[in-house]
Amino acid sequence: MTNSTPPLGGISSEHSFQLLVEGVTDYAILMLDPAGFIRTWNAGAQRFKGYAAREIIGQHFSIFYPESDRIAGRPALALQTALDEGKSEDEGWRVRKDGSQFWASVVIDPLHDDSGRFIGFAKITRDITERKRAQEALRESEQRFSLLVEGVTDYAIFMLSPTGEVTNWNTGAERIKGYSRDEILGKHFSCFYTEKDRAAGLPAQTLAIAGSEGRFEREGWRVRKDGTRFWAHVVVDAIRDEAGRLVGFAKVIRDVTERKQAADALARANTALFQSQKMESLGQLTGGVAHDFNNLLAVMSNGLDVLSLRLHEHADIRMLEMMQRAVTRGATLTQQLLSFARQQPLKVEKCNLNAVLRGFEAVLRRAADGAIELEVRQEPRPRPVLLDAARFEAALLNLVVNARDAMPDGGKIVIAVENVELGEGTVGALAPGPYVTVSVTDTGSGMPPEVAARAFEPFFTTKEVGKGTGLGLSQAYGFIAQSGGDVLIHSEPGKGTTVSMYLPVATGTSGDADTITGPALDTVLVVEDEPDLLEATAELLRSLGYEVLTASNGAEAMDVLSRRDDIGVLFTDVVMPNGINGVQLARSTRELHPEIRIVLASGYALPALKAQHGNLSDFAFINKPYRLADIVRTLGLGT
């Protein structure tokens, strides 16, 4: 064997190669004779097989195989494969001198001399136990992960191809979406989207964002196999190989419908609470303004009544009548304000709303105008409600007029009565239970949300200046709220408006005493903290022939009562600042002087006062602003 390469340091190339092979420590490199007996041994073989050269040379290489492999003939098969195919490659367990095993990568090549004669085998073995363990650990991890993913039922976890076809499917996906693995594999994931979202291109947008940004996360409606919808939290991650090539997408979906329903319910409750608090605050403000305004009107009204008794000139009497009419219009305005504030006295009775509508239908049709169709839909068997029928008719008329004004070119109004059952939080703060709803629906211009949200506020109107006070809807709202119900508005621009009044079903009836009877007595004690009203009321009572004593607060009144024993009537305002209010004064007087008749006067409605002060049935009640006729009627006098 010749070699043209010059010797290295005086060493032949054959010797150099031998030194190279013997010095390799990471590989076992050895030669076998044609029968498989070991002829050479290098340092690598000794390192991880444990045999010294003198111990192993001359032994058959099958010594490295486990007994089961030797019995199965694997050593002989390896040599035969090398002869037949020119090479034998194999991985498997091999045995060290100490009996321990390692995982080996083995390559066996047949060797021939220069003449082509077969002279044995070259065998190269590498200890790849660590790699094998890593592979096993990875395989076990993948198996565990696969079992984990497959076993998850609260999340739909599956893979998509780069174009969006479903490539695998877990148990959670089947439970949430309703498709079995065989039904869904190969289908495009867009089948989970609503028709509207598909038309808008949302599936393609999802993959585009995930592909470009690496991740897509959103919530929205998704569709199950049976067509039902659920609110889903969706995460889509792009999956790339080591070269950065997109190989698909991992998609994780959770059904969060219950969470969304709870969040929506909370939002509705917060909105209702905010609206209730806002309307309550407006009601308190409006009631206070109306109360003070009533006091001013009472001064004017009483003064005009007194002057009318003293004047005889026709022109002066006409002027007084005009002034009295102005006072009456002012009083009507305050009653509207008090109606919104739920402080207007109601005369409630058990009502059949079908009957109320039948009796008032003619008025409603005249108000609707000839160009507008009016339809009344009655409930076949309406539940009875406790209602002030006259005020309900006024509220209904307001709604019909508003509906008419929203349809200047004509349209249709539908008034419907319906029995309903409300659940918790369905309508504002109304308690669950049976209700009757009366709705007024028009086909008019409708309102945007920001306008509908303010529709019940007093003085808020969308009409032109001079064409509305803005009190119609607020008055209807206040009346229904005072009746124990609520009002909802649903409106969309261009699609009309529906105003629904919810009234609780009647469980009984009640009435309020508003007069006292018996002969008039000579002396009246008037208690009022507003000086002008105190003087006007006193003068009005003097004009009726009474002796009048006055007091500006509860303490002064108690002092007068302790000094005088001829007082027949206590006429007292209810709301008085500082110290004893009118109700406390009345109750103390009743205990000390049960023979004295007592009249409570207030701009607030009697139900509102009862809610604050409890039972007031022992006392007569008169609403401010009162006139001479009101006092005569309450005191039971003839004229």
pLDDT digits (tens, 9 = 90+) for 597-623: 899 998 887 888 888 888 888 899 988
Whether the pLDDT of residue 111 is over 60: the answer is yes
**How many whole angstroms separate alpha carbon 333 and alpha carbon 190?**
61
Asked whether the bond before 7 is cis by omega within 30 degrees of 0, the reply is no
Who wins on pLDDT, 428 or 412? 412
Contact (CB, 8 A) for 286 and 339: no
Classify residue 428 as left (phi > 0), alpha (psi -120 to 50) or beta. Answer: left
Which pLDDT belongs to residue 467? Answer: 41
SS3 letters for 496-529? EEEEEEEEEECCCCCCCCCCCCCCCCCEEEEECC
457 pLDDT band, cuts 50/70/90, is low
| Token code pair at residue 478 | 């206040």
Specify whether the CB–CB gap between 503 and 477 falls below 8 A.
no
pLDDT tens digits, 489-518:
888 888 899 999 899 898 743 333 333 333
Query: Tokens 């649903």 belong to which residue?
Result: 490
Q: How far is CA 329 from CA 332, 410, 468, 476, in A?
A: 5, 32, 15, 19
Dist. CA 618–CA 156, nearest whole Å:
70
Q: What is the spatial distance between Cα 88 and Cα 599, in angstroms, rounded to a whole number?
A: 119
Per-residue CA distances from 86 to 65, 122, 323 (Å): 22, 11, 127
CA dist 391 and 601 (Å) reads 22
247 φ/ψ angles, rounded to the nearest 5 degrees: -110, -5
Whether residue 574 is predicted with pLDDT greater than 50 in this model: the reply is yes
Residues with Cβ within 8 Å of 590's Cβ and at least 6 positions away in sequence, in order, are 596, 598, 618
Contact 254, 233 (CB under 8 A): yes
What's the pLDDT at 588? 92
d(CA 478, CA 338): 8
How much is the pLDDT for 343?
Answer: 43
Burial (CB count <10 Å: 0-12, 13-18, 19+), residue 234: middle
pLDDT of residue 434: 93
Q: Which residue has the tokens 């007029």?
A: 401
**Domains recognised in the chain with CATH numbers:** 13-128 (3.30.450.20), 152-255 (3.30.450.20), 264-327+513-639 (3.40.50.2300), 349-504 (3.30.565.10)
Distances (CA, A) of 53 to 22, 43, 57: 11, 9, 6
Residues 28 and 40: beta-carbon distance below 8 Å:
no
Q: Is the pLDDT of residue 265 over 80?
A: no
Q: Is the pLDDT of residue 378 over 50?
A: yes
Cite the DSSP H helix spans in 341-388.
353-368
Mean pLDDT, rounded, for 291-305:
58
Summary mean pLDDT of the chain: 79
Contact by Cβ (8 Å): 82, 102: no
Instruction: Yes or no: say if 607 and 478 are a contact pair by the CB < 8 Å rule.
Output: no
Q: Is 387 helix (H, G, I), strand (E, B) or coil?
A: strand
What single DSSP character describes residue 272? H
Please check the confidence at residue 185 and state whether its pLDDT lies above 70: yes
Note whether 402 and 366 are within 8 A (CB).
no
What are the angstrom distances between the C-alpha of 321 and each of 35, 92, 149, 329, 631?
A: 141, 120, 89, 12, 19
Instruction: Output b/e per residue, 355-370; b: 16+ Cβ within 10 A.
Output: ebbeebeeebbebbbe
As given in the structure block, the two tokens for residue 329 are: 């219009």
- Quote the CA–CA distance of 452 and 461 in Å, as a whole number: 11
48, 130 contact by CB (below 8 A): no
The rounded radius of gyration (Å) of the Cα atoms in the chain is 49
Confidence of residue 149 (pLDDT cuts 50, 70, 90): low
Which tens digit of pLDDT belongs to each residue from 513-531?
333 333 334 789 999 988 8
List the structure tokens of 11.
């060493």
β-sheet with 547-551: strand ranges across? 547-551, 523-527, 567-573, 597-602, 620-623
Query: Which residues 6+ apart lie within 8 Å of 98 measured at CB?
Result: 50
